[in-house]
């Protein structure tokens, strides 16, 4: 007391603090009473008992003298688990063990399982039922398949447990099973996850299925009070990461960002998690957390749930918001990753190569791990990558067919691999051969939102993408060759570009991509003036130098008015310029503010590099660009042609270290490509000006073509599709030879255990 008063701490406060400390220590179980869930001589039914935590729990309960009924689907694994359980029995002569094969996602599975269990158990129901069977399919919510994954997760995790609890409660709570209220209670145990207490990005298909279990358990806890003569306890276990076969499976679709975030809670072995869970159950806990963070998270969400201990749960519940104040601000910070429903990434400039290399070095290990994992089981992701690759090839063929102008995209570009500063090759870091350009994957990152993970790709997939890419490079090269002729008579200086093109790797040219084929005939391209006419604008006064120049240039698109009924004043010189610029120019990466708001006569925001004071064609019309957010020095927003999505046949992307960074960064990339670009054609198109341009050109070409030419285009496209299909088939045949190679039509995401 002397010391306290000398320190100036008032007695009531000191006593209060001391009281709280004693209460905390007492409540945290130092003075525990008896085991609240004895199992010796009792019968425990565990679903999901053949692998992971369920199997560990079964083994540990056998060691404590329980009889066990193991439930899961795969009989082979059940038999192995049964052998382990038998070996662990504390009194093998009296304990009994069996298994029942059942799929917990099947409607009405549970009553049959319980009936079989009761029959095996001499007419008595099991005393403890622990629902462990579960699965997880991490994905981003906007990914393909996330909704079907969510339904599947719900069927297995929620309904699988919900049905079992109902079937067993109907037994336990029936009047014939009434007992002395003081007899040992029965136990129904659900297995959720800390993700039912704290959500992190990537688990949207999964977390709700576990949150739902919490809602059910709270409700049951109250409902069970209606049966004082049939004592039953309900529990929910909240594991964090368990190093189980299930974890390996879920990692196949896990986004990189999710891997990153969940590192904060280190994985535990199934044995450890099962042991801590059983300890919690024996302590009589309702919500059983198996780690310190889990305990904090649990106390952070208590709401109206029954408490394990009013004192410690409440005190910790006051502290957790303070922790969250710091944790959540960090976790919810903007991550700068565009997705397919938001905007495409701004041009990735400005990050020093040094920083990039350091960042990559930091991620190297996990990237390798993932790559290794996928090497072991490439089939898991193969199908969708293949799908994506198909689209890629189709886009490639389309690009070739649409007379892609490659002579423009070499401006000021350095040698390939110029970004390999510090001797640190991101390509190597990601487990790819250094010469593989990651742009092939990037088409999916920027456009598909799914992000074919270059570093998460199995070798055959990498090979395939690489091949696609080289094919495209080849086609482009061949095409470019041909295109240069056209350019040379149009632009006397065109040849200056030529030396900047690196010849692409000479891989076998696929059929259908032969140089010089029909639809690439440059004579089919219409001039801007012709396309203006095709767009419905009659004879125009072409007076200004800019208009004259643009009039002769190959047109890129038809001009489409936002309001087709409107008649535009084309008597004005600058308005003719605007029209031609709109037809001949390039789409802005991001529309100017006016176009974004829907102003201006035409439907897209088009710029011509170095012209119209930087403003777009729409803003040039009638207003000479005055209101354009691109006006004057405000960043002309021309899209670097093709460099955003098409693979660099020359130096274009390789020279930009930040570009590589984007493409190979694990946060963006180690995300299984379950999202075939097919289903995202709409969003790809919307987000990607280069694709828009590609399609615009195709539209212009097709619109401008007469019947016979359209037939030829049709034949050309069909021939390419056939060629792609044949190439695909050849790949498949050659891949089948390799162990673990993909099988045609293999289900990718579907089932968790490959039963
Ligand atoms: N691994 C983790 O990081 C975490 C897991 N959890 C949860 O903990 C529990 C155990 O996880 P974990 O140790 O990883 O388990 P595993 O995924 O390794 O094993 C799952 C078990 O459930 C069975 N199972 C899966 N689906 C079904 C089904 N439809 N019908 C019947 N049985 C099924 C499996 O057997 P079979 O295939 O033969 O049917 C297997 O025995 C799960 O509920 C999981 O959601 C919670 C937090 C973290
Ligand atoms: C006070 C609280 C502080 C919060 C810190 C945040 C740390 C986040 C850790 C998240 C761990 C996720 C484990 C996933 C387990 C799981 O269920 C999946 N593997 C699916 O099976």
Q: What is the pLDDT of residues 313-370, one digit of tens each?
A: 999 999 999 999 999 988 888 775 444 444 444 444 443 333 333 333 343 333 333 3
Q: How many C-beta atoms surround the C-beta of residue 161 within 10 A?
A: 32
10 Å CB burial of residue 685 (0-12, 13-18, 19+) is: middle
Q: Which CATH class for the 33-331 domain?
A: alpha beta
Q: Which of the residues are catalytic?
A: 206, 210
What's the distance, CA 726 to chain centroid?
A: 30
Please name the residue that has the structure tokens 């053949």.
50
What's the 260 CA to ligand 2 centre distance in angstroms?
11
d(CA 268, CA 272): 6
Which pLDDT band, with edges at 50, 70 and 90, does 10 fall under?
confident
What's the rounded Cα separation, in Å, for the pair 741 and 337? 32
Residue whose Cα lies nearest atom 7 of ligand 2: it is 264
Q: Reply yes or no on whether the pLDDT at 161 is more than 50.
A: yes
Q: State the average pLDDT over residues 558-571.
A: 89
Coil, strand or helix at 579: helix
pLDDT band at 491 (very low <50, low <70, confident <90, very high): very low
- For residue 30, count other CB atoms closer than 10 A to its CB: 8
Closest CA to ligand 1's atom 3: 241
* Residue 223: band (very low, low, confident or very high) from pLDDT cuts 50, 70, 90: very high
Question: Please, which pLDDT band fits residue 416 given cuts at 50, 70 and 90?
Answer: very low
Q: What ipTM is given for this predicted complex?
A: 0.99
Q: What is the pLDDT of residue 12?
A: 76
Question: How far is residue 473 from each of residues 436, 520, 644, 690, measured CA to CA in Å?
Answer: 12, 16, 15, 17
Do 650 and 502 touch, CB atoms closer than 8 A? yes
- 103 CA to middle of ligand 2, Å? 27
264 has a pLDDT exceeding 50: yes
CA of 90 to the centre of ligand 1 (A): 26
For 115-131, the pLDDT digits (tens) are: 999 999 999 999 999 99
Residue 321 in contact with ligand 2 by CB distance below 6 A:
no
Does residue 140 register a pLDDT over 70? yes
Separation of 134 CA from ligand 1 center, angstroms? Answer: 4
Show Cβ contacts of residue 492 under 8 Å, excluding neighbours closer than 6 positions.
Answer: none
Question: Is residue 52 pLDDT above 70, yes or no?
Answer: yes
DSSP codes of every residue in 429-469: HTTS-TT--THHHHIIIIIISS---GGG--HHHHHHHHHHH
The HSE-up count of residue 99 (CA atoms within 13 Å, CB side) is: 27
Q: Are 512 and 397 in contact (CB under 8 A)?
A: yes
- Nearest ligand 2 atom, CA 210: 17
- Ligand 2 pocket, residue 293 CB under 6 Å: yes
Query: Of the ligands numbered here, which is closest to the C-alpha atom of 189?
Result: 1
- Looking at residue 465, what is its pLDDT? 45
The CA 553 to ligand 1 mean position distance, Å, reads 63
- Does any ligand 1 atom lie closer than 6 A to the CB of residue 242? yes
671-684 average pLDDT score: 40
More confident position, 737 or 384: 737
Non-local (6+) Cβ contacts of 627 within 8 A are 594, 619
| Residue 467 in this model has a pLDDT that exceeds 90 | no
Q: pLDDT at position 473, please?
A: 52
Least confident of 36-50, 367-381, 599-613: 367-381
The lowest-confidence range among 193-197, 336-340, 369-373 is: 369-373
Residue 412: band (very low, low, confident or very high) from pLDDT cuts 50, 70, 90: very low
| Stretch (H or E) spanning 43 | strand 43-47
What pLDDT is recorded for position 13? Answer: 73
When mean pLDDT is compared over 274-278, 554-558, 620-624, 627-631, the highest value belongs to 274-278
Q: Is the dihedral of CA 379, 105, 450, 336 positive or negative?
A: negative
Ranking 4-18, 38-52, 179-193, 544-558 by mean pLDDT, the lowest is 4-18
Does ligand 2 come within 6 angstroms of the Cβ of 727? no
Question: Nearest ligand to the C-alpha of residue 253?
Answer: 2
**Closest ligand 1 atom, residue 753 Cα:** 37
| Residue 301 CA to ligand 1 centre (angstroms) | 24
Ligand 1 and 444: CB distance under 6 A: no
Strand, coil or helix: 485: helix
pLDDT at 686: 60
Token look-up 């159950």 returns 281
**666-690 mean pLDDT:** 44
For the cut 90, the answer to whether the pLDDT of residue 269 exceeds it is yes
Ligand 2 contact via 260 beta carbon (within 6 Å)? no
In terms of phi and psi (left: phi > 0; alpha: psi -120 to 50; beta: otherwise), the region of 244 is beta
Mean pLDDT of all residues in 409-432? 34
Residue 438: what pLDDT? 26
Residues of each domain in the chain carrying CATH 3.40.50.720: 33-331
Q: Find the Cα–Cα–Cα–Cα dihedral 720, 725, 730, 735, rounded to 10°.
A: 130
Position 249 pLDDT exceeds 70: yes
End-to-end Cα distance, the chain:
69
* 441 against 730, higher pLDDT: 730
pTM score = 0.53
Ligand 2 pocket, mutate which of 48, 198, 242, 291 (most atoms under 8 A from CB)? 198
Instruction: Kindly report the protein residue whose alpha carbon is nearest to atom 2 of ligand 2.
Output: 297
Spatial distance between the Cα atoms of 501 and 484, rounded to a whole number of angstroms: 12
Res 480 pLDDT > 80: no
Is the per-residue pLDDT at 624 higher than 90?
Answer: no
Is the Cβ–Cβ distance between 526 and 555 less than 8 Å? yes
Beta-strand relationship, 287-289 and 128-131: unpaired
**Higher per-residue confidence, 416 vs 554:** 554
User: Using 50, 70 and 90 to split pLDDT, how confident is the model at 494?
Assistant: very low
The answer for residues whose C-beta is within 8 angstroms of residue 644's C-beta and 6 or more apart is 344, 446, 688, 689, 690
**CB-count exposure of residue 74 (10 Å: 0-12, 13-18, 19+):** middle
Q: What is the pLDDT of residue 430?
A: 31
Alpha helices in 185-309 (DSSP H): 207-223, 245-251, 256-262, 270-282, 292-300
Name residue 188's beta-bridge partners: 129, 234
Angle CA 319–324–325, to nearest 5: 100
Q: How many CA atoms lie within 13 A of 58 on its CB side?
A: 34
d(CA 104, CA 71): 9
Provide the mean pLDDT of the chain. Answer: 73
Taking the C-alpha atoms of residue 156 and residue 631, their distance in angstroms, rounded to an integer, is 57
How far is residue 679's CA from residue 205's CA, in Å, rounded to a whole number? 19
Residue 193 CA: nearest ligand 2 atom is 17
Rounded Cα gap, residues 68 and 49, in angstroms: 10
pLDDT tens per residue, range 290-312: 999 999 999 999 999 999 999 99
pLDDT surpassing 80 at residue 597: yes
**In the chain, pLDDT over 70 holds for what percent of residues?**
61
Phi-psi region of 255 (alpha: psi -120 to 50; beta: other; left: phi over 0): beta
Nearest residue to 276 via CA among 191, 200, 187, 198: 191
Residues linked to residue 98 through DSSP beta bridges, in sequence order: 69
Find where tokens 């990607």 sit: 688
Beta-carbon contacts of 34 under 8 Å, excluding residues fewer than 6 positions away, are: none
């Amino acid at each position: 007391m002397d010391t306290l008063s000398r320190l100036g701490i008032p007695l009531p406060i000191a006593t209060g603090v001391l009281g709280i400390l004693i209460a905390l220590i007492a409540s945290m179980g130092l003075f525990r009473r008896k085991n609240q869930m004895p199992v010796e001589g009792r019968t425990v039914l565990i679903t999901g008992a053949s692998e992971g935590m369920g199997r560990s729990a079964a083994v540990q309960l056998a060691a404590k003298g329980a009889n066990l009924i193991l439930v899961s689907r795969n009989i082979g694994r059940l038999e192995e688990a049964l052998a382990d359980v038998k070996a662990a029995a504390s009194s093998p002569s009296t304990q009994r063990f069996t298994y029942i094969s059942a799929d917990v996602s099947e409607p009405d599975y549970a009553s049959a399982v319980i009936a079989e269990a009761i029959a095996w158990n001499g007419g008595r129901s099991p005393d403890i039922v622990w629902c462990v069977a579960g699965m997880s399919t991490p994905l981003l919510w906007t990914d393909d398949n996330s909704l079907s994954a969510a339904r599947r997760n719900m069927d297995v995790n929620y309904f699988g447990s919900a049905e079992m609890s109902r079937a067993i409660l109907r037994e336990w709570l029936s009047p014939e099973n009434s007992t002395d209220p003081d007899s040992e209670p029965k136990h129904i145990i659900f297995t959720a996850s800390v993700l039912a207490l704290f959500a992190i990005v990537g688990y949207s298909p999964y977390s709700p299925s576990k949150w739902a279990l919490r809602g059910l358990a709270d409700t049951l806890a109250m409902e069970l009070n209606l049966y004082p003569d049939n004592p039953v306890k309900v529990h929910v276990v909240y594991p964090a990461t368990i190093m189980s076969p299930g974890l390996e499976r879920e990692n196949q679709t896990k986004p990189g960002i999710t891997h990153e975030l969940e590192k904060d809670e280190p994985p535990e072995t199934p044995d450890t998690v099962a042991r801590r869970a059983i300890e919690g159950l024996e302590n009589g806990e309702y919500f059983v957390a198996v780690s310190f963070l889990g305990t904090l998270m649990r106390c952070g969400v208590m709401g109206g749930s029954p408490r394990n201990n009013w004192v410690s749960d409440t005190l910790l519940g006051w502290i957790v918001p303070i922790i969250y104040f710091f944790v959540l601000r960090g976790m919810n910070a903007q991550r700068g990753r565009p997705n397919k429903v938001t905007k495409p990434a701004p041009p990735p400039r400005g990050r020093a190569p040094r920083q990039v290399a350091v960042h990559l070095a930091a991620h190297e290990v996990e990237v390798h791990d993932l790559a290794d994992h996928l090497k072991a089981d490439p089939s898991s992701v193969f199908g969708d990558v293949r799908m994506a690759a198909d689209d890629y090839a189709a886009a490639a063929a389309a690009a070739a067919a649409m007379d892609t102008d490659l002579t423009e995209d070499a401006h000021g570009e350095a040698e390939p691999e110029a970004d390999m500063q510090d001797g640190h090759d991101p390509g190597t870091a990601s487990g790819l051969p250094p010469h593989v350009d990651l742009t092939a994957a990037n088409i999916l990152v920027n456009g598909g939102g799914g992000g074919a993970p270059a570093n998460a790709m199995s070798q055959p997939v990498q090979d395939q993408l690489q091949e696609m890419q080289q094919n495209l490079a080849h086609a482009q090269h061949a095409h470019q060759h041909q295109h240069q002729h056209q350019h040379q008579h149009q632009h006397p200086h065109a040849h200056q570009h030529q030396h900047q093109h690196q010849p692409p790797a000479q891989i076998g040219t696929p059929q259908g991509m032969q140089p010089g084929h029909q639809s690439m005939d440059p004579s089919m391209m219409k001039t801007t003036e012709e396309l203006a006419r095709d767009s419905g604008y009659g004879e125009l006064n072409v007076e200004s130098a800019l208009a004259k120049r643009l009039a002769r240039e190959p047109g890129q698109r038809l001009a489409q008015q936002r309001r087709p009924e409107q008649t535009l004043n084309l008597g004005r010189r600058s308005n003719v310029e605007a029209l031609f610029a709109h037809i001949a120019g390039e789409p802005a990466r991001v529309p100017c503010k006016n176009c974004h708001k829907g102003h201006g006569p035409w439907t897209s925001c088009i710029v011509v590099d170095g012209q119209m004071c930087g403003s777009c064609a729409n803003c040039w019309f009638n207003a000479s660009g005055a209101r354009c957010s691109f006006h004057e020095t405000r960043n002309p927003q021309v899209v670097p042609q093709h460099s955003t999505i098409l693979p660099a046949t020359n130096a274009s992307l390789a020279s930009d270290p930040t570009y590589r960074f984007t493409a190979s960064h694990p946060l963006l990339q180690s995300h299984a490509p379950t999202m075939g670009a097919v289903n995202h054609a709409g969003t790809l198109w919307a987000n990607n000006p280069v694709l828009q341009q590609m399609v615009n050109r195709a539209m212009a070409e097709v619109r401008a073509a007469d019947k016979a030419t359209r037939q030829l285009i049709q034949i050309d496209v069909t021939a390419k599709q056939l060629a792609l299909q044949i190439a695909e088939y050849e790949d498949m045949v050659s891949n089948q030879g390799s162990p673990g190679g993909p099988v045609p039509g293999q289900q990718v995401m579907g089932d968790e255990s490959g039963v």
